[in-house]
């Protein structure tokens, strides 16, 4: 297993270096003129020369690339162009609210989706299966904005069950996070149920399920031990694709509910052309995506030892 992990890390290194190069080139070529973005109109020649030297724009591309790799390794992406706050500090300031929102919503939603999928797959063709499938299709057919606006209007404004907007650090955050977590779960469960139901149906029809039943095992043990274990690989695949985006933030939830997380921070940086923050978050998302793909490969080998070969 150690050798397996080392090989996966070895494969990831050139991928990350390539992503870093593409990111640097895109921001230098397609990201606009950083001098004009930061200094505005009609800067003096002295200001232009000073900023050009500060940003290293006179350096050859290979030197800029090495400097960008150093920033990635040290997590030192400079300072924000908006308020001169270190980008690293901005990240750590926003990661708490983001994870406070995304982790509970993702965990609860995933558990509900997996349990419901196994249940309706077992009772496939029944009224429960048809109603659940129709509800899932109806749920994913409605725009996420509708869930957010209706939830804010009905549950928060009319019924006064939750605050409409805002955030509070500490235990009081639960009050502000309850409604966006609930909406997040409603948004995700429909899609997950349809996917996991398909996976479970493929497994329930296999020979090992009939063998387990013939041995007298309870349906609960067959479903939540044998079938669930053999559904692990596609479930892990889906979850490890989603998790990096949980860490980098949820735009709509954080913007509409006033949560000062990474998603709202990135949105503000994009609208204000704060390139250091945008570039740092772009690279952060790429690194997390690659790392969680490595984690998925390792978990595949844990749940299915044949993959180690």
Q: Spelled out in words, what is the top-level CATH class assigned to the domain 99-273?
A: mainly alpha
CB distance 192 to 239 below 8 Å: no
**Where in the chain are the domains?**
2-74, 99-273
54 to 34, 85, 184, 227, 278: CA distances (angstroms):
12, 16, 42, 58, 18
In this predicted structure, what is the pLDDT of residue 48?
A: 73
Between CA 267 and CA 104 the distance in angstroms is 23
SS (H, E, C) 226-237: HHHHHCHHHHHH
In this predicted structure, what is the pLDDT of residue 47?
A: 72
In this predicted structure, what is the pLDDT of residue 7?
A: 81
Where does residue 56 fall: left (phi above 0), alpha (psi -120 to 50 degrees), or beta otherwise?
Answer: left
Looking at the chain, the whole-number percentage of residues with pLDDT higher than 70 is 92
Where does residue 142 fall: left (phi above 0), alpha (psi -120 to 50 degrees), or beta otherwise?
Answer: beta
Contacts of 42 (CB under 8 A, 6+ apart): none
Contacts of 96 (CB under 8 A, 6+ apart): 169, 261
In this predicted structure, what is the pLDDT of residue 202?
A: 85
Ranking 52-66, 166-180, 271-285, 288-302 by mean pLDDT, the lowest is 52-66
């Amino acid at each position: 297993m150690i050798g397996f992990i080392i090989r996966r890390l070895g494969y990831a290194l050139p991928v990350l270096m390539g992503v870093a190069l593409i990111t640097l080139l895109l921001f230098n070529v397609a990201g606009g003129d950083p001098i004009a973005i930061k200094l505005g109109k009609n800067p003096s020649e002295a200001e232009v020369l000073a900023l050009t030297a500060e940003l290293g724009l006179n350096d050859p591309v290979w030197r800029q690339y090495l400097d960008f790799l150093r920033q990635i390794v040290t997590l030192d992406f400079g300072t924000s162009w908006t308020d001169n706050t270190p980008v690293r500090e901005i990240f750590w300031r926003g990661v708490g609210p983001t994870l406070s929102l995304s982790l509970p919503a993702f965990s609860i939603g995933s558990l509900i989706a997996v349990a419901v999928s196994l249940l309706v797959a077992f009772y496939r063709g029944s009224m429960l299966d048809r109603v659940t499938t129709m509800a899932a299709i109806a749920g994913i057919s409605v725009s996420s904005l509708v869930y957010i606006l209706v939830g804010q209007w009905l549950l928060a404004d009319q019924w006064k069950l939750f605050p409409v907007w805002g955030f509070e650090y500490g235990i009081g955050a639960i009050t502000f996070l309850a409604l966006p977590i609930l909406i997040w779960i409603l948004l995700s469960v429909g899609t997950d149920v349809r996917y996991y139901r398909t996976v479970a149906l493929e497994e329930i029809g296999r020979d090992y399920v009939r063998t387990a039943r013939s041995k007298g095992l309870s349906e609960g043990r067959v479903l939540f031990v044998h079938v669930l274990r053999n559904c692990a690989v596609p479930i892990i695949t889906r979850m490890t694709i989603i998790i990096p985006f949980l860490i980098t933030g949820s735009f709509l939830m954080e913007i509409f509910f006033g949560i000062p997380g990474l998603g709202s921070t990135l949105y503000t940086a994009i609208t204000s052309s704060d390139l250091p923050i945008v570039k740092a978050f772009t690279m952060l998302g790429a690194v997390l995506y690659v790392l969680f793909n490595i984690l998925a490969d390792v978990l595949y080998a844990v749940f299915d030892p044949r993959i180690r070969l």
